[in-house]
C-alpha cells in the first residue's frame, strides 16, 4: 500500500470534518474490501479515517424497530438475541457472510457504503425497507442503492445506523460464488406491513434490485409455487466465468422459491 495518514476520531463531528476537509481522505469501517484494495495499491488515500471509535457498534430493539449501529460487525448481528428474535433471516444472512475472520471485522455500514453488487446486506436492507441514517439525514432504502458501488451518500457522509422495521416473515437464500463465496445470486424476501418485497443481489448488472414481478405474484400468494413460470429478464443479469446470464436468471427463481419456503 501507499503511505497515508491515519486518523481515529473520537466523535462523529471530527470524523465528518476529517473526511470533509480532504477529498482524498477515505473512511475505514471494517476494511474487508478497503484494506485489500490498499494492499494492491488500487487506491491512494491521503488520510484513512477509522470510524471504530465513534460508538457505532450496537444493536437495539426498540419501538418495534431494530436499530443496528453502522460499525456493528456481521458476527455480532449473527449472534444477537435481539436480531434472532426480531428478524431471524437477518441474523442468518450475517452469519453466512465471508468467513469467521471477515464476520469479526466486517461491518454493516461498511458493506452498505461500499454497495458491492455481490454483497449480501444490500438485499436485506432493500427487501426489509430499512432506513439508512447518516450524520446528515435519513435515507429511505429505495432511494439509497444507485447501481453497483454507487449509493445516495454524499462525499464524506457517514452512515451511523440502519433501522429495520420488523417484517411478518422473511428469509434469505444465497447461491454462493464457488470461488469467492460472495452471493452469485442472493434473494431476500420479506412479507411486511407494506406488502411483499423481494430484493436480489449478486445477479444484476446494476447491483441489488427489487423484483417487481416476484413481488406481485407473492402478494397474491406467498408460496413458492406462486413464482412458477415467472421469468427474470436475462438481459439484466451479469455473466462471467462462473455463470451465464441465463443461469443467473434461473437461479434468481430457484433462490426466491427457497427463500419463500424458508421464510419465518
Partner 1 sequence: MVVDGIGASVKRKEDLRFLSGRGNYVDDMNRPGQTFAHFLRSDVPHGKLNKVDISAALKMPGVVAIFTGDDFTGVGGIPCGWQIHSKDGTPMVEPRHPVLAAGKVRHVGDPIAMVVAETKQQAKDAAEAIILDIETLPAVAGLTAALAAGAPLVHDEAAGNICFDWHIGDKAAVEAGFAKAHKIVRLDLVNNRLVPNAMEPRAAIGDYDVSSGEYTLYTTSQNPHVIRLLMGAFVLSIPEHKLRVVAPDVGGGFGSKIFHYAEEAALTWAAGKVKRPIKWTADRTEAFITDAHGRDHISTAELALDAEGHFLALKVNTQANMGAYLSTFAPSVPTYLSATLLAGVYKTPAIYAEVKAVFTNTVPVDAYRGAGRPEATFLLERIVDVAAREMNMDRVEIRKKNFIPKEAFPYQTPIALQYDSGDYMATFDGCLKAADYAGFEARRKASAAKGKLRGIGISTYVEACGIAPSAVAGALGARAGLYEVANIRVHPTGSVTVFTGAHSHGQGHETTFAQLVSEQLGVAHDMIDIVHGDTGKVPFGMGTYGSRSLSVGGSAMVKAMDKIIDKGKKIAAHLMEADVHDIEFKDGKFSVVGTDKAKTFGEIALTAYVPHNYPIEELEPGLEETAFYDPKNFTYPGGCHIAEVEIDPDTGTVSMISFTAVDDIGRVINPMIVEGQVQGGIAQGIGQALLEHAIYDESGQLLSGSMMDYTMPRADDIPNISVGMEVTLCTHNPLGSKGVGEVGAIGSPPAVINAVVDALRDYGVRHVDMPATPAKIWALIDAYHPKMAAE
**Shortest spacing between CB 3 and partner 1, in angstroms:** 8
**Shortest spacing between CB 124 and partner 1, in angstroms:** 21
Q: Which stretch binds partner 1 (CB under 8 A): 69-77, 154-162, 212-220, 235-243?
A: 235-243
How far apart CA 121 and CA 6 sit, in angstroms, is 28
Q: Does 222 bind partner 1 (CB under 8 A)?
A: no
Buried b (16+ CB within 10 A) or exposed e, 151-175: bbbeebbbbbbbbbbbbebbbbbbb
Q: Does 243 bind partner 1 (CB under 8 A)?
A: yes
Question: Residue 40 contacts by C-beta under 8 Å, 6 or more apart in sequence?
Answer: none
Q: Does 212 bind partner 1 (CB under 8 A)?
A: no
Task: Write out the binding residues for partner 1, residues 19-48 only, by CB under 8 A.
Answer: 40-41
Q: Is the dihedral of CA 182, 90, 124, 217 positive or negative?
A: positive
Q: Residue 42 forms beta bridges with which residues?
A: none
Cell, residue 62: 426498540
Draw the binding track, 182-211, toward partner 1 (x: CB under 8 A; -: no contact). Answer: x-----------------------------
Look-up of cell digits 477509522: 50
Residue from 42, 179, 212, 235 in contact with partner 1 (CB under 8 A): 179
Q: Does 5 bind partner 1 (CB under 8 A)?
A: no
Q: Does 3 bind partner 1 (CB under 8 A)?
A: yes
Q: Which stretch binds partner 1 (CB under 8 A): 80-88, 119-127, 220-228, 237-245?
A: 237-245
Q: Residue 16 forms beta bridges with which residues?
A: none
Cell, residue 159: 452512515
How far apart CA 202 and CA 122 sit, in angstroms, is 10
219 vs 246, which CB is nearer to partner 1? 246
Residue from 150, 154, 228, 244 in contact with partner 1 (CB under 8 A): 244
What distances in angstroms separate CA 93 from CA 110, 144, 183, 211, 255, one per listed residue?
A: 16, 20, 11, 19, 14
Q: Which helix (H) or strand (E) holds 17?
A: helix 12-20
Residue from 63, 64, 155, 178 in contact with partner 1 (CB under 8 A): 178
User: Residues in the site for partner 1, rule: CB under 8 A?
Assistant: 2-3, 40-41, 175, 178-180, 182, 241-244, 246-247, 250-251, 254
Amino acid at each position: 500500500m501507499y503511505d497515508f495518514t491515519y486518523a481515529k476520531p473520537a466523535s462523529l463531528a471530527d470524523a465528518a470534518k476529517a473526511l470533509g476537509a480532504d477529498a482524498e481522505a477515505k473512511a475505514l469501517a471494517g476494511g474487508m474490501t478497503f484494506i485489500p484494495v490498499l494492499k494492491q495499491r488500487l487506491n491512494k488515500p491521503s488520510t484513512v479515517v477509522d470510524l471504530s471509535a465513534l460508538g457505532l457498534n450496537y444493536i437495539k430493539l426498540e419501538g418495534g424497530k431494530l436499530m443496528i449501529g453502522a460499525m456493528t460487525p456481521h458476527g455480532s448481528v449473527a449472534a444477537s438475541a435481539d436480531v434472532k428474535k426480531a428478524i431471524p433471516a437477518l441474523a442468518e444472512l450475517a452469519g453466512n457472510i465471508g468467513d469467521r475472520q471477515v464476520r469479526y471485522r466486517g461491518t454493516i455500514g461498511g458493506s452498505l457504503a461500499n454497495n458491492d453488487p455481490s454483497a449480501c446486506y444490500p438485499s436485506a436492507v432493500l427487501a426489509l425497507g430499512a432506513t439508512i441514517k447518516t450524520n446528515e439525514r435519513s435515507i429511505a432504502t429505495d432511494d439509497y442503492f444507485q447501481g453497483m458501488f454507487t449509493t445516495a451518500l454524499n462525499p464524506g457522509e457517514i452512515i451511523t445506523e440502519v433501522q429495520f422495521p420488523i417484517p411478518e416473515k422473511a428469509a434469505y437464500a444465497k447461491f454462493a460464488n464457488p470461488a469467492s463465496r460472495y452471493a452469485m445470486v442472493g434473494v431476500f424476501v420479506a412479507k411486511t406491513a407494506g406488502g411483499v418485497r423481494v430484493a436480489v443481489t449478486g445477479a444484476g448488472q446494476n447491483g441489488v434490485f427489487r423484483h417487481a414481478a416476484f413481488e406481485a405474484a407473492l402478494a397474491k400468494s406467498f408460496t413458492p409455487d406462486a413464482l412458477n413460470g415467472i421469468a427474470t429478464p436475462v438481459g439484466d443479469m451479469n455473466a462471467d466465468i462462473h455463470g451465464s446470464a441465463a443461469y443467473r436468471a434461473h437461479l434468481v427463481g430457484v433462490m426466491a422459491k427457497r427463500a419463500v419456503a424458508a421464510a419465518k
